[in-house]
Amino acid sequence: MEKKFGRQCSYWIKAARPRTLPASVSPVLIACAITYKEGFFQLFPAILCVLVALFAQIASNFANDYFDYKKGADGAERLGPERAVAQGWISPGAMLSGTFVALGIACLSGCVLLYFSDWRLIFVGLAIALCVLAYSAGPYPLAYNGWGDLCVLLFYGIIPVCFTYYVQVGSFSLLAFLLSLAVGLLSINILVVNNYRDYEQDCLSGKRTTIVLFGRRFGKILYLLNIILAFGLLIPLLLVVPVYVLALSAFVFTLCVARWLDLSRKEGKALNQTLGATAGNVLLFSLLVVWIVLVMPVA
């Protein structure tokens, strides 16, 4: 019984795709660094923002597992990590229930956040919940119609950074917005690797990602462009930080470019490692941004 329970837990953990979860936490960390620097940081609202972001992504991953199975996108020729429903580890009904449980935790955490902010945040919560489901479900699934990249920019960049800041300060910030764009652009590269790897399978299943629409060459250009734009947005901050921070920035930039080179050198399942490394680079970039914010002079 204990072995069966442990095995089932491991299946749910795999279904949550832990290697990609840093993408949900990273933007919240950036916003918290800005509020801490400005003297507005509040621990409990920050924790709630982490829970909203984390469980919204887990719900999205569960929903993607379920609906991709239903749409036949997870066939035997799948190149990505094994999917729980397609492998028979978790039943479709249980996965759908898990989706709503995770989404419920995210919504509950968001409702508690209303105590620290104002009622208008409920519309942000509704947008997040709708996107979690609409990403791979419904009559017009966003991921199947070329909107995945924009969704990542919004929900793994702009919204979590700007509204984590808003909850703690009560206003918006230009700095928070610019840094939200930076982390959002870099997070898009996680999706780029995923869709680049699955190009042929997505063509066959009718999943019209931007890579399917514009080709693999476009994917390579987009990946590199996102890196350049993300680090370019840091330039005004890098002009006023110590030299050692510039060295750290150059190191993280080099790691990101190295993963871009993987798109030319690797194919198929070998890109799964690149996918995990790209997600790791998003976290490293976010930690770099946190450090830059903390050491830069007060305006």
pLDDT tens digit sequence for 147-192: 999 999 999 999 999 999 999 999 999 999 999 999 999 999 999 9
pLDDT tens sequence across 46-102: 999 999 999 999 999 999 889 888 876 555 555 666 778 888 899 999 999 999 999
Q: Looking at the domain assignment, is residue 103 inside a domain?
A: yes
232-239 contacts: CB < 8 A, separation 24 or more?
Answer: 233/178, 233/179, 233/181, 233/182, 234/182, 234/289, 234/292, 237/292, 237/293, 237/296, 238/292
Q: Is residue 112 in a domain?
A: yes
127 within domain boundaries: yes
Does 2 reside within a domain?
Answer: no
Q: How many domains does the chain have?
A: 1
Within a domain: 3:
no
In contact, 19 and 194? CB cutoff 8 Å: no
The chain-wide mean pLDDT, for the chain, equals 91
pLDDT of 238: 95
Q: Look up the domain containing 60 and give its range.
A: 8-295
**How far is 217 from 125, CA to CA, in rounded Å?**
36
Q: Is the pLDDT of residue 194 over 80?
A: yes
> Quick one: pLDDT at residue 8?
81
pLDDT given for residue 36 in this prediction: 96
Question: Residue 178 domain-assigned?
Answer: yes
> Is 1 among the domain residues?
no
pTM: 0.92
- The answer to whether 27 and 284 have CB atoms below 8 angstroms apart is no
- Give the model's pLDDT for residue 244: 95
204 band by pLDDT with thresholds 50, 70 and 90: confident
| Residue 73 falls inside a structural domain | yes
